[in-house]
Structure 1
């Protein structure tokens, strides 16, 4: 609508705005033009609301309203909410939902204030507060949108306050509310119950929490190291910076590749091997039950443990002296197969409809959309109508999730069938 847009800067079609809205609700970050050039204050406020809804989930928002009004929810509603929150059972759903919303408000408020300390002197009180809220919500929801123009956060490439605040928001939002619930519950026991050592505290965490935390730390460490090593001699990215600055820039790109979509350097300038590594990071994504996309770190970790079990000759997949259920392993394989099938189909269609665009950049765009990351090699605005529709579908499927989308297509009850075993050679 005219009230939401600047009338003289950029003429948008209905498809352009639909593309942006899908990208916001799917917390991706791809757009046909910079948000600040299209939408005015009203449009950007709507954008904030869409990103927050997309990050927390529409189902959880409706359920929160029902609970806040002290209304009762039927069994079907509880089942739907349980699925949306990625919970194994429906126990204490109301308390967990309110915890997720309180955690969101506290984290966004805290880091919003920290970012304001930089933005208010820079932009003034009015725009400083608004820009801080916009960036905070976008970062926590892993949306990847900003209102600073086509350069994303390149202006803040050497700004520690923005780099580490946005990185923390991305990690805290993408790690999953189940992890926060587990960590906070154990911190309460640590400080308000009988004192225990930090080693014991870590062991008290659930295996899922430990798997997510361990995998996240490893990915961030290796990603930062690889980015620095591959780009340290690139004058267009980080070679002109000091070593601490190079590490900070490398760390930020590694964090944002876990489905956030921000950037402080141009991915047109990074070397091809670096972008190839970034594609793998985009595929992995964040934790289940959070605001991040991708196949999720648990899926990646279980796939790694499956390969490890084969290499060491174990018949079962294990983690921390516990056996991972065969059903979970099967779901892992299903997610991977379905995910890569959709990527191959989407990429093939883009190659067909966009023959004049760089194939490597198209692959980067495909994986970015499917994993709701939102980074681009400056390709989104060059896509044809057919190309944009494909990207919109990929963003939608990526946000809904491979398992959810697959189960919505094949809704059949689980059957236990016992047949005689047979041997088939593989590899």
Structure 2
């Protein structure tokens, strides 16, 4: 009986749930009705695409717009939506429709899925997530449809507007523009750039933050979590925009040919999308090495907890910076807004960061062997993009070997579910130690 309980704990259910969605999507993409050639995708490419869609990454080995039929594209879109919101959120939605009561166990799993600190009000939060998502994606679809209608038929514009709104709100980065062009034709278009940027930002700040902002008119207060997410997100966005603007200002292949407003829009969009979205208005392969390194750092940090994005998360990054700053000042506690961060939170932030760094470095090392002859910067860019579920690429994805594809598939999956969740799912968690060992001293620095 005990073994059954361990098997069904939340981390295992989350890992198995995402895995089942990936496998189901892979099977559907291998069907003849999914591809324009009527043959279906080979299984490895289907598995790669399904993983990228479910883990809302956006890396593709075949072009989405030209390879897949409308049926195949809708399958991908469904995986993006379920993967972005989490399958437990959708399970809760169907429970609402059927009038089923949400059990305690389901609430615990939902809490784990949403990365929420408390189980209190978790069902209400899930309901609001669905409402927020529907409203934001609808507004985004309408704005994009209006703009796309100037370039294509109304029916096609509506379809493109819906697809790109859902894809970008879920920080997936899949597009239908053809031949891996993404949104490069709209680099200086304010409607497309600002609409998609807003979708990405809203999807990336997290539903917990979104819910608090919605309730602010009544509560007149924001939690420490929300304050840190908003401040960190704004700083990273500003630093990324300014960095790309100055680093690419004289680059003939990117910003130099554009007007000043176009340069600002291009820089802003690449800063936003580097935070786990994957769409791009500048050709990533044409960026300078300095910009690519800056984007790698932004990708590694990623979005915020409880969002549709990946990375180590903004709160993790800020917690570590706070710990370093406190250590430099000789302070024992990490303080934000006159509130002390618990040591357990700091340890978890350190564990998440080191686990992510170890995974990125290990996969990069293996890929330098399996993808012999490929540029090192392109490899580490690809791995970081996969782990942070970003989807930006320097063009390496379509050229990956079968081993390389499998490694990137694993990296995308681990990045979406979380290295710690996978570790908890495959290991037996023991009770806390009943005793403590004597202190030992080592020299640091």
Distance 2:94 2:430 in 1: 32
Equivalent in the alignment of 1:196: none
Match of 2:87 among 32, 43, 58: 58
SS in 1 for 2:284: coil
Note if 1:378 corresponds to 2:395. Answer: yes
Note if 1:7 corresponds to 2:9. Answer: no
Question: In the TM superposition, what is the alpha-carbon distance from 1:54 to its structure 2 partner?
Answer: 0.8
Note if 1:181 corresponds to 2:204. Answer: no
Q: How does 1:77-96 map to 2 (within 5 A)?
A: 77-96=106-125
Equivalent in the alignment of 2:9: none
Distance 1:94 1:68 in 2: 14
Match of 1:387 among 404, 416, 420: 404
Equivalent in the alignment of 1:194: none
Question: In the TM superposition, what is the alpha-carbon distance from 1:92 to its structure 2 partner?
Answer: 1.6
Match of 1:276 among 293, 300, 306: 293
Equivalent in the alignment of 2:198: 168
Question: In the TM superposition, what is the alpha-carbon distance from 1:421 to its structure 2 partner?
Answer: 3.1
Question: In the TM superposition, what is the alpha-carbon distance from 1:335 to its structure 2 partner?
Answer: 0.3
Question: In the TM superposition, what is the alpha-carbon distance from 1:74 to its structure 2 partner?
Answer: 2.8
Question: In the TM superposition, what is the alpha-carbon distance from 1:13 to its structure 2 partner?
Answer: 1.3
Distance 1:118 1:41 in 2: 21
Equivalent in the alignment of 2:324: 307
- Do the aligned residues in 2 keep the contact of 1:371 with 1:399 (CA within 8 Å)? yes
Equivalent in the alignment of 1:231: 248
Equivalent in the alignment of 2:186: 156
Note if 1:402 corresponds to 2:419. Answer: yes
Note if 1:32 corresponds to 2:61. Answer: yes
Distance 2:257 2:427 in 1: 53
Equivalent in the alignment of 2:136: 107
Match of 1:130 among 159, 177, 189: 159
Cα distance per residue 1:24-55 (max 9 Å; x no partner) = 00000001121011101111111111110110
- Do the aligned residues in 2 keep the contact of 1:67 with 1:94 (CA within 8 Å)? no
Equivalent in the alignment of 1:205: 222
- Do the aligned residues in 2 keep the contact of 1:253 with 1:264 (CA within 8 Å)? yes
Match of 2:365 among 348, 369, 390: 348
- Greater Cα shift, 336-345 or 372-381: 336-345
Distance 2:55 2:218 in 1: 34
Question: In the TM superposition, what is the alpha-carbon distance from 1:423 to its structure 2 partner?
Answer: 2.7
Distance 1:396 1:113 in 2: 32
SS in 1 for 2:386: helix
Distance 1:351 1:148 in 2: 31
Note if 1:42 corresponds to 2:52. Answer: no
Cα distance per residue 1:242-271 (max 9 Å; x no partner) = 222211100100000000001111111100
Equivalent in the alignment of 1:361: 378
Distance 2:230 2:313 in 1: 12
Equivalent in the alignment of 1:243: 260
Question: In the TM superposition, what is the alpha-carbon distance from 1:11 to its structure 2 partner?
Answer: 7.4
- Do the aligned residues in 1 keep the contact of 2:389 with 2:412 (CA within 8 Å)? yes
Distance 2:430 2:92 in 1: 26
Distance 1:414 1:334 in 2: 19
- Greater Cα shift, 234-243 or 274-283: 234-243
Distance 2:332 2:343 in 1: 11
Distance 2:99 2:436 in 1: 47
Equivalent in the alignment of 2:5: none
Question: In the TM superposition, what is the alpha-carbon distance from 1:353 to its structure 2 partner?
Answer: 0.6
Distance 1:413 1:223 in 2: 42
Distance 2:357 2:442 in 1: 24
- Do the aligned residues in 1 keep the contact of 2:188 with 2:261 (CA within 8 Å)? no
